[in-house]
Structure 1
Amino acid sequence: MPTTPAAPADPAAADPAPTPSHAEAWNTQSAAIEAAETRRVADMEQAARDARERVLAEVLALPALPGVYRYFDAQDQVLYVGKAKNLKRRVSSYFQKDHGGTRIGMMIARIARLETTVVRTEAEALLLENNLIKALNPRFNILFRDDKSYPYLRLSGHAWPRISYYRGAVDRRHRYFGPFPSAWAVKESIQLIQKVFRLRTCEDTVFNNRSRPCLLYQIHRCTGPCVPEGQTEEYRRNVSNAERFLLGETQEVMDGLQAQMMQHAERFEYELAAELRNQITALSKVLQQQAVDENSATGRDRDVDILAVKLQGGRACVNLAMVRGGRHLGDRAYFPKHVDDATAVRLLDDEDLTPAEGDTSVEPPSPERLVLEAFIAQHYLEMSVPSLLVLSHPVDGALAEALSLQAGYRVTTQAQPRGQRRIWQEMCAKGAELALARLLSEEGSQQARTRALVDALDLSVVELDKFRIECFDISHTAGEATQASCVVFEGHQMQSSQYRRFNIEGITGGDDYAAMRQVLTRRYSKMAEAAQNGTGRLPDLVLVDGGKGQVSMAREVFEELGLDLGLIVGVEKGEGRKVGLEELVFADGREKVYLGRDSAALMLVAQIRDEAHRFAITGMRAKRASIRTGGSRLEDVPGVGPKKRAQLLQRFGGVRGVAGASVEELANVKGISRELAEEIYRALH
């Protein structure tokens, strides 16, 4: 039976609407992303224009008075701090020219806001400027790293004074001589004082408990005031002569000793005369060893600072040599940061001011002068300044005026000295040249090591100067006081300010694998989240001190956190644990690599690994000592950190010794003030 053909279905029902292809969806998504990015860029440009208009409006409202100005970028990071005799003219000069792609143009393009402070004089502006530079660390200012305080030679206020090395805040009860450029200079001076004047160097706690003189008395380095037989007027005369010698009155001391020697000889006291003769001989040898001409070191030349600057290879060095009491004490080199950027900005300042001041014949200051001025202003802000500074380059007269205002007496600068001062200047300049050459050589070697490591591991590093390595090590004693260290290598050098220690708890004693897992988890859990949000940065390489076991533990942590396994490299000991035979173990499955005993890359790896080991060992020992001695009682005292606690325990032999010490004895410990000593005494009693 024939069938009737079915009626054709509705075309709309038979053919559903086609779905977009993957290509069309991708194009749509890309267009949306591009539109969003375009809007974001437009918003940023509009925000930059609004910020620039606000800055220009603020510039127009500035007063024509002396003051200090600060530039900030959109992230509120300070870019530059400067001073001006006329704030309105100086600040407006930055925005009146097109500086293009120069360093100054790059800075101006980033300015989002400014702040100004009006002062009374240019000298006040200079002091405020450099206080702010040290506090804010601007990107386009010459910066000198804050160094440790200078060491001094201290003569205690004891009835039988002690001569000692000292660094820290001064106390009116004692006499201080210096500052000295280095600890070596202080210790050498102490040895000279011992040889010539035979003053004691023992601690007061030792001095108070002696029943007979120590070995220094036997070898004629001390007159033994720790026993009644040595507590004589002779010791007091030696103290007085030592003070005068340190103050530069060497000829007067020599004349006085010779007069005393003749008096003893006339009274037939030949043994006493012979002792004074030996003292004069020793003092004469000391004076002959000094590089400074004692006959010319009179008046204000007794205390002089000599400064020389040298620029080469994009780096700068300022060498500071010290003369105290007519004696040359040595020198110290300083290496500033941001020299190229900062000098470009400062030179622009001077060029803009020249036409306004109407003196077009004056040449802009040299970069050497700018570096020297920055050092003088920043260095002497918190230090005493001698009345005479001998310089390799002339500086602005306002600088000496500001130093004089701060010191309370006249400070003079001299750039073209004669005679003995000329010799000092040449010595200091040679020292700056040698120090800078040594720095460039070391930096070149370290950069070569960094490049060798990057090449050996086939790492993709865009900016070698920002290549960052973090290295971890575990340290304990039979499972006691376990600590982990993390040290950082960046910018071709170790960054000690970024080192971290981690107390490892909640694991079985001696389980290094569990300790490594804990420290890596604590270190990178938050860092990984910050890196994903664009607010942080992970290192380019993570070194762990250990072989396959440590690396496998690191791999587990990184897998849990979703981090790249290619970052992890283990440093495995070679055969017999010999240095130079180490092999590198990778977490991403690559074969082990032996770089070779003479490899520059292995030298860098070993340097970082050894630093991590040292940092872990010192932390572990301090923690272990605290546990064994009950040092936690000291930890509860506000102001007593690990360093001060270690000094106290070492000085007094443990907590019992600290508890048995008086407030005066506690205050004699380096870094312990009178107030802190009283707080410690109350806490332990």
Structure 2
Amino acid sequence: MAADELIKEQLKHLPHRPGIYKYYDDKGIIYVGKAIDIRKRVSSYFNSSKQHNKKTLKLISQIKRIEFTIVDSEADAFLLENNLIKQHQPKYNILLKDGKSYPFLCITNERFPRVLSTRNKLNDGSRYFGPYPSVTSMYVVLELIRTLYPLRTCSYNLSQANIEAGKFKVCLEYHIGNCKGPCEGLYDEAQYNDHIQQIRNILSGNLTVAKNYFKEAMSAAAADYQYELAHQYKQKLDLLDDFQAKSTVVSHTLTNIDVFTITSNEKCAFINYLKVMNGSIIGTQSLELQKKLEETDQDILASMIMQLRSDFESSSKEILVNIDDLVLPLEGVTVTVPQIGDKRKLLNLSMKNALYLRKEKESMQDKSKDSNEVRIMETMKRDLRLTELPKHIECFDNSNFQGDNPVASMVCFRNAKPSKKDYRHFHIKTVVGPDDFASMYEVVTRRYKRLIDEGASLPQLIIIDGGKGQLGMAVKALKDLGIYGQVAIVSIAKRLEEIFYPGDTLPLYIDKKSETLKLIQRLRNEAHRFGITFHRSLRDAGTLQTELTKIKGLGPATAEKLLSKFKSVKKIAELSQQELETEVGKSKARLLIDYFSQTAK
């Protein structure tokens, strides 16, 4: 029997009952759906094909076989459909398929527990908090915990017998004050466990217990005339206040609520999720989903609510949504569309996020590849608060190996692309010794004095590779030339990718994934590459002699790499072992650590 005839025959025997149906092609399941009446719903695909869009017609053309399962209610059908979609991931069903696992913070189940980050939840008795929407948000909380409390990070088995036997010795973390040495019995277990309980409260969204603890400790220390200790507790209290201030407090009258909103166009749906606990938003996620068939907003949102609540382990008994007639098979959970009050404000906030995502995505889709440069420049203009579109950008970098052949480089980007004919090299002429600040003043002065003398146009943006010191000298050069204020100027510091403005003590932190930062990094890296290439050409091959090349096992290439980035041996010596390992690997990092340890004696 042909496939079409088989399907026609199957349609006649489908039940008028609630349940789920599965469509198969030659390879397996391609679609799972739910229905109050299985026969009516499935027959609608084949009896009114003229009303379907192209995607649905393509699905219908691939169906070779139909299976169904009867259930007792529509709620049961919903749950079964959701489970089967997760299990089989049919290509015509909407589903988050990125395989992403969210990060958690874990308080380990052991004596003197540790606080760790993980993506894998184990049934080992440990306490897991999260998940967090991003690694960045998780590490912000972890850094706060480690700053407030001196917890151990080692994986030793700190049983009473092992400690009394003297099996362990305190490590560097103890000597720098990050740990109080429970491995040698130097940390009272009761106090340690009290700190762990405070951490549990913080991770659960309750900061009151920890704040009261530090307030009482501060007052007791002050009453005992231990003012330095009191100040330390005050600093930790300030950290908690600052962390709480950065959390979006919705309303103290709201407890645990999930908020979901959806907006859509013909091709995509855009969903925002806010997780509210103790009156504050502790998690947020925005999603773009490609529509597969003719799904309604109700169907899409209902499916995503089930999945996101599962992913974020939400047990909230109240859900706020922006669309009516939403059916969810969640016992004991209320689903409402609030019209007034704090809950309505919360819903509007979620909707703003969903609409912003939609606007952003549609804007990107509407622009062709030819307009990418304009988009990038407009983004940079907005992010850096420029008054003009940065069509012409110039970036400066010094290349100075302890005073050996000091040079500088300038690269030029026009319309967000390299303009290599405008690149320039500079021999440092007026500066003696390794002085990056004076060198920056010289090259900026020479570059723009020449443009002024030639009557050439100035760039809309100047980028300085370095911190506030180099930026200050570049600004001084522009002021001495009388063009300060005519050209925007910023600097980028390498360690944390901070953007500094003239006269502003606080740096700007741009989203690490933003096009603005990526373009600035590209300019910086290109200027660095261009300068190093020039510097290399001025030296005889293999003649770079530095203190680093005297270290047995460390070659000129490694020395050049480190010095080109950190500028001096002194700055390299200040790096941590982890930072060195990131740059040159474990074995060479160990050689450097050993060498600097010996020379420091």
TM-score by length of 2: 0.53
Matching residue of 1:58: 10
> Judging changes above 3 Å, is the alpha-carbon distance between structure 1 residues 368 and 100 closer, same or farther for their aligned structure 2 residues?
closer
Deviations along 1:226-267, one digit per CA (max 9) or x if unpaired, are 443334543322211111122233224433443455456666
CA contact (8 A) 1:59 1:91 kept: yes
C-alpha separation in 2, matches of 1:327 and 1:200: 30
Letter matched to residue 287 of structure 2:
Y
CA contact (8 A) 2:322 2:347 kept: no
Matching residue of 2:197: 240
C-alpha separation in 2, matches of 1:448 and 1:72: 42
CA shift at 1:390, angstroms?
A: 4.3
Matching residue of 1:371: 300
C-alpha separation in 2, matches of 1:317 and 1:101: 23
C-alpha separation in 2, matches of 1:98 and 1:130: 26
CA shift at 1:184, angstroms?
A: 0.9
CA shift at 1:168, angstroms?
A: 0.9
CA shift at 1:99, angstroms?
A: 2.4
C-alpha separation in 1, matches of 2:333 and 2:122: 23
C-alpha separation in 1, matches of 2:143 and 2:53: 55
1:154 to 106, 120, 130: 106
Q: How do 1:199-238 residues align onto structure 2 when only pairs under 5 Å count?
A: 199-204=151-156, 211-212=169-170, 214-215=172-173, 218=176, 221-231=178-188, 233-238=190-195
> Judging changes above 3 Å, is the alpha-carbon distance between structure 1 residues 374 and 293 closer, same or farther for their aligned structure 2 residues?
closer
Indicate yes or no: 2:105 matched with 1:134. Answer: no
> Judging changes above 3 Å, is the alpha-carbon distance between structure 1 residues 245 and 110 closer, same or farther for their aligned structure 2 residues?
closer
Matching residue of 1:82: 33
C-alpha separation in 2, matches of 1:336 and 1:182: 19
Deviations along 1:481-521, one digit per CA (max 9) or x if unpaired, are xxxxxxxxxxxxxxxxxxxxxxxxxxxxxxxxxxxxxxxxx
Q: Percent identity between the aligned chains?
A: 27
CA contact (8 A) 1:315 1:335 kept: yes
1:336 to 265, 270, 289: 289
Matching residue of 1:322: 275
Deviations along 1:527-585, one digit per CA (max 9) or x if unpaired, are xxxxxxxxxxxxxxxxxxxxxxxxxxxxxxxxxxxxxxxxxxxxxxxxxxxxxxxxxxx
Deviations along 1:350-376, one digit per CA (max 9) or x if unpaired, are xxxxxxxxxxxxxxxxx4333212312
Letter matched to residue 281 of structure 2:
H
> Judging changes above 3 Å, is the alpha-carbon distance between structure 1 residues 390 and 221 closer, same or farther for their aligned structure 2 residues?
farther
Matching residue of 1:636: none
5+ long unaligned stretches in structure 1: 1-46, 344-366, 405-409, 451-602, 604-649, 655-685
CA shift at 1:270, angstroms?
A: 6.0
> Judging changes above 3 Å, is the alpha-carbon distance between structure 1 residues 227 and 307 closer, same or farther for their aligned structure 2 residues?
farther
Indicate yes or no: 2:146 matched with 1:194. Answer: yes
> Judging changes above 3 Å, is the alpha-carbon distance between structure 1 residues 159 and 316 closer, same or farther for their aligned structure 2 residues?
same
Matching residue of 1:250: 207
> Judging changes above 3 Å, is the alpha-carbon distance between structure 1 residues 338 and 204 closer, same or farther for their aligned structure 2 residues?
farther
CA shift at 1:154, angstroms?
A: 0.8
> Judging changes above 3 Å, is the alpha-carbon distance between structure 1 residues 116 and 381 closer, same or farther for their aligned structure 2 residues?
farther
2:239 to 254, 264, 282: 282
Indicate yes or no: 2:362 matched with 1:433. Answer: no
Indicate yes or no: 2:325 matched with 1:403. Answer: no
CA RMSD of aligned residues (A): 3.9
Any idea what SS the aligned residue of 1:374 has? helix
Matching residue of 2:137: 185
Deviations along 1:29-86, one digit per CA (max 9) or x if unpaired, are xxxxxxxxxxxxxxxxxx6xx433332332222233221111234x355443211222
CA contact (8 A) 2:252 2:278 kept: no
CA shift at 1:315, angstroms?
A: 2.4
CA contact (8 A) 1:213 1:226 kept: no
C-alpha separation in 2, matches of 1:331 and 1:447: 31
Q: How do 1:542-561 residues align onto structure 2 when only pairs under 5 Å count?
A: none
CA contact (8 A) 1:197 1:279 kept: no
Any idea what SS the aligned residue of 1:335 has? strand
Considering only CA atoms, is the larger Rg found in Structure 1 or Structure 2? 1
Deviations along 1:608-632, one digit per CA (max 9) or x if unpaired, are xxxxxxxxxxxxxxxxxxxxxxxxx
> Judging changes above 3 Å, is the alpha-carbon distance between structure 1 residues 312 and 85 closer, same or farther for their aligned structure 2 residues?
closer
C-alpha separation in 2, matches of 1:139 and 1:160: 48
C-alpha separation in 1, matches of 2:197 and 2:277: 18
> Judging changes above 3 Å, is the alpha-carbon distance between structure 1 residues 101 and 254 closer, same or farther for their aligned structure 2 residues?
closer
5+ long unaligned stretches in structure 2: 373-521, 523-581, 588-601
TM-score by length of 1: 0.47
CA shift at 1:119, angstroms?
A: 1.8
